[in-house]
Copies of this chain bind each other. A is one copy, B any other.
Amino acid sequence: MKTERCDLLVVGGGPGGYTAAMRAAAKGLRVTLVEKGPMGGTCLNRGCLPTKALLEDTLTIERVRRARFLKGDLKINRERILERKAALVAESVAGVTQTALEKGVTLLQGKASFTGPDRMALERPGDEPLEVQARHILLATGSRPEYGPGFAIDGERVLDTDAALALASIPRSVAVVGTGNRGVEFAAIYANLGVRVTLIERAKRILPREHRWVSGRYRQVLGQRRMQVLTRTEAVAAEPTQGGGVRLTLESPKHEQDRLEVDQVLLTGSRRPSFAGLNLEAAGLVLQDGLLEHGPALETGQKGIYVAGDAAGAPYLAHKAIGQAMAAVDGILGKEASAEALVVPNCIYGDPEVGSVGLKDYEAKKAGYNVRLGEFHLVRNGRAGTMGKDEGVVLTVSDADTGRVLGMHILGPSATELISLGALAVRNGLTVGDLKQTVLPHMTLSEAVFESAAATDGEAVHQ
């Protein structure tokens, strides 16, 4: 088997992998990236990008439905929606591929498995196998979803998110199992298309990672949009019915067992790092409860081998992968790097949106801070009013002793964009005073962020 040498071998072409490869190449390292499928990973091919394409188009439909000044009938051409999505994915994959090549990354297609702690064999479709010996290896192999044993995904009635993205048909009713980021986003897409949606959540509230108030308010808004929400409820099995739909078996403390009949069920599953076929043993790597332990620069127990992105465990977010990839490359370059300093926001797309970063007030209290909370409701924000979407809130959590912003939690239109203000503030140690002295353009949604900071001192202008 032919052997090639490089400074950094990256396994996986998702956001973590391609960011690391491009950054390292730009810094002068010889970099090889191996990917078994198309470049872009889950994010570009089966996650963030195609869901946003569907969300954006279906929000147009929802917007027309909500506009009282438009009368008439519109027909939805499902194929055109899918064409646009496919074109966006193809363009983005091509864009990332081209950028990587321009930055001097060697791209190889194939499956990699360790043959030693500093080398991997690549099985390549229609090509000779190849061994790559590398001074550093980064595993950015992503994650895969797991579902309960009572479910057989058939892609027609029992769907995973891949099947939902294919949108082979528009059902009349759907049950979405799981109300994390993906569940809530797909629920919005279906509801925008006019589908009757039931959300099913095992935990006691939807969006269980988010601020309690935010989840509570989100549930109210979904109710106003006529979605049914079942919490403390576990979907344990799904079986096809003779009528062409599917019957879900639900368990909850109240009603021990219950049934729900719908046209389709979407399982969002829970994600786990994916190391299949890597032959970790040959590199001396051992999984602990399915995870690879790693230090602050993402280096594993085996010197020279790094892990980043979904492969490094929760949270399973593309921007966390990008942040970790940069920290790992800094570590490889001998620069001080600490992925522990990463402040990772969370974003829920859908309708409405949620963005959050840093600590919640009750977490900050537990951590010993003398906590202050600034709260501003979008019903007093002019821009939200003009958009007809004023049900949101901005919460700013700060430390009374230093004024520092510790966290921000936003529900409302463009919350996924507005949270960047919170991320910038939390990461760089800005204070409530810093936010208050900044003049924000009128009339914008961003004003609500600053009003929420001002509300900490009872100084919100419009409240």
Contact = CB atoms under 8 A, between A and B. Distances in A.
Contacts of A19: 461
A52 interface: yes
Interface in A111-154: none
Contact of A60 (B70, B317, B341, B458): B70
Contact of A80 (B69, B387, B442): B69
A252 interface: no
Interface string A334-370: 0000000111111100000001000000000000000
Interface in A434-451: 434-435, 437-447, 449
Given A347-B444, A439-B343, A73 B75 contact: no
Contacts of A70: 60-61, 64, 74-77
Interface in A395-416: 414, 416
B417 A99 contact: no
B385 A442 contact: no
Interface in A359-394: 380, 382-383, 385-388
A394 to B, nearest CB: 13
A250 interface: no
Top 5 A-B pairs ranked by shortest CB distance? A69-B80, A420-B446, A319-B442, A318-B442, A52-B386
B462 A441 contact: no
A77 B71 contact: yes
A323 B440 CA distance: 9
Nearest to A425: B424
A417 B437 contact: no
Contacts of A420: 421, 438, 440-441, 444, 446, 449
B442 A417 contact: no
A63 B56 CA distance: 11
Nearest to A58: B69
A280 interface: no
B52 A382 contact: yes
B424 A430 contact: yes
Contact of A64 (B60, B383, B442): B60
A342 B77 CA distance: 50
A172 interface: no
Nearest to A71: B75
Contacts of A345: 439-441
Interface string A40-83: 00011000110011011100110110011111111111101100
A453 B250 CA distance: 50
A322 B447 CA distance: 11
Contacts of A417: 414, 417-418, 444-446
- Of listed A72, A78, A386, residue having the most chain B CB within 10 A: A386
Interface residue tally on A, bucketed by range: 35 or more
Contact of A355 (B380, B441, B459): B441
A229 interface: no
Nearest to A449: B420
Interface stretch (A84-92, A236-244, A292-300): A84-92
Nearest to A386: B52
Contacts of A441: 317, 319, 345-347, 355, 416, 419-420, 423
A118 B438 CA distance: 32
A380 B74 CA distance: 32
A443 B48 contact: yes
A460 B49 CA distance: 19
Given A322-B442, A345-B441, A437-B427, A72 B74 contact: yes
Contacts of A312: none
A189 interface: no
- Of listed A44, A78, A440, A459, residue having the most chain B CB within 10 A: A440
Contacts of A68: 77, 80, 84
A53 B386 contact: yes
A216 interface: no
B442 A423 contact: no
A15 interface: yes
- Of listed A49, A74, A342, A461, residue having the most chain B CB within 10 A: A461
Nearest to A443: B48
A444 B99 CA distance: 19
A152 B427 CA distance: 56
